[in-house]
Structure 1
């Protein structure tokens, strides 16, 4: 007998508070979810809540690197087929809608989707259930559940179940990232820079670049340059597609790093430069405001504090009473888990 979605939702929030690493978080969340929606493997990814770029990934028995290489070789890395969409049971809309889609490698593919389903089958997977972890504020990540070939595919009931727990899973993801003070990563090594060519092969890299990627993605096995390059494919594809720089603030065990990907101009088209370094205060703050739930006014107050203004100056600048300005500061201290102005500045400045 499967547990009620409400009991799973309560349990995952407790598990997030206890997790000491991304691997712990992924294991705890999917262990609870397994009782509701049985599965054989998972991939849990997080998004920068401001830019939408990926910021972490943890998995157990997920897709192999070969799967993603096959998709890229087929020209489908940035595409997904139209998924088979079983109709979930009708119910009153009591929560924000959560997108959940199913792929079934044994089903007839949608136009252009055959390569993905064939690659799934080559990896030994028969069915995929993918859904966003979002609330009314942002999309915080994505969870992919996988079932082996030969097992029944995910059903409309499974879709309905994950839609009921998606918001608590998103809250658990936020709780994990915001479990400590939001400080820039204290790094002794200089920034790392990599250049990926049009085929997304690492063409050049500074001495620290590979170490930076392993710091940012500690849950992944990054033994070769091919493995390291694969972690950047989403960033490089987005940089080429958008024509603008891509930014992600990446939470690590020791603070936030930042990753930039920007397309290069010149004779060799398609090259992308990727820079990885400790997050700067100015770039970190928008993501911190989202992860930690600061209001727009609280974010403005933090900006004023970082510029060195006193409480009275902040009140005058923002046309607030001193009492209201102080209330905003107290709310910021509570959310960011500091005891006062000096700790706030020290935390956000690293």
Structure 2
């Protein structure tokens, strides 16, 4: 990576430590704290903001930081959703890399970034290094590392180190989603949140109040609702303005391991001065097997093709039927099966089905 002396030793220690995270059975919050300890000496950042994501859509659904005052986090959420900025998490992911610096993306003129002008520079930082934690086709998390202006921009070697680290963190976060035995399924009653234009709850129904605590962010913020709910609401507002926005529900996992889907819809303005303008209704419902099973398979590290094979087997298809449906030879199906069995730790199709069915009855 071109690093020398202490930096090179710190980088090597960070990579070796991150490789071990997958095997430790840590939660996402614990993974972030350990990653902070490992990467801070190597990346030489002064502050970091960690996020988990909906693996399918890549939308941020939590925030964790011991360095930053999140008293204006509502503004950060708004910028993240509405600003067509440089080096955003989606743009980094779509570029094919795992990490990018704002200084490089702006060609040395970070003032071109609205995020830099309105947030980063106002807090005394001179550069930002963002990383996306992808693994097995899903985006399991992301982070923004910042350093004070006096220390200059992140050099290319540290961006390369962050790129390598991001891949390992993606694997660790993916593994943290492997289902384990736990309490029974979630309350099937939908939870309804009515939010004003500032994402403050105006009304709650069903188990909404109880669900707020189970979805609470690891770090306190200025938001009156968890990050996932605010993000879903902002994207619903984008949709009403005809702007591109995910048209699928946001997936979020509670602290006790249950998956929920967040469906958001903006209320229509009926009068020019309607006080309900920009209000949004967010409905949280327990995720169905159709939404959970692909996440469980991805958590075991199955590729997209292996997931297709596994899903057909779980639905009762035999080797010939799988081969026909997926336009592959029976021998290729068998090769995929071997890999599926190895990754999930089972030896037969019946065991694979039992494993997934058991996961549907316990938190994931």
In structure 2, stretches of 5+ residues that fail to align are: 1-5, 88-95, 241-245, 271-275
Q: Give the CA deviation at 1:110.
A: 4.2
Question: Structure 1: which 5+ residue stretches go unaligned?
Answer: 84-94
CA contact (8 A) 1:50 1:286 kept: no
Distance in 2, Cα, partners of 1:196 & 1:146: 32
Pair 252,292 (structure 1): closer, same or farther in 2 beyond 3 Å: farther
Question: Any idea what the Cα deviations from partners look like across 1:169-211, whole Å, max 9, x if unmatched?
Answer: 3322332332463479843433322122333221221242233
In 1: Cα distance, 2:262 partner to 2:256 partner:
19
Distance 1:178 1:72, change over 3 A: closer
Structure 1 residue 36: Cα displacement: 0.9
Contact 1:236–1:272 under 8 Å retained in 2: yes
Q: Which residue of 1 aligns with 2:118?
A: 115
The 1-side partners of 2:126 and 2:279 are apart by: 35
Q: 1:12 aligns with which of 7, 12, 18?
A: 18
Instruction: Report the counterpart of residue 220 of structure 1 in structure 2.
Output: 219
- Residue 216 of structure 1: CA displacement? 3.1
Structure-1 residue corresponding to 2:73: 68
Are the structure 2 counterparts of residues 147 and 111 from structure 1 closer, same or farther at C-alpha, using a change threshold of 3 Å? closer
Cα deviation for residue 33 of structure 1 reads 0.6
Q: Matched residues in 1 for 2:337 and 2:177: separation?
A: 18
Residue of structure 2 equivalent to 1:98 = 99
Shift of 1:99: 1.9
- Structure with bigger helix share is 2
Match runs of 1:194-233 below 5 Å: 194-217=193-216, 219-221=218-220, 226-228=223-225, 232-233=229-230
Partner SS state of residue 52, structure 2: strand
Q: What is the Cα deviation at residue 313 of structure 1?
A: 4.6
Determine if contact 2:63/2:217 at 8 Å carries over to the other structure.
no
Could you say what secondary structure the match of 1:99 adopts? strand
Between the aligned partners of 2:320 and 2:76, the Cα distance in structure 1 is: 58
Paired residue for 2:150? Answer: 152
Structure 1 residue 31 displacement after superposition = 0.8
User: How many aligned positions are there?
Assistant: 325
Q: Tell me what 1:257 maps to.
A: 259
TM-aligned CA distance change 1:337 to 1:219, over 3 Å: farther
Q: TM-score w.r.t. structure 1 length?
A: 0.75
Distance 1:48 1:11 in 2: 25
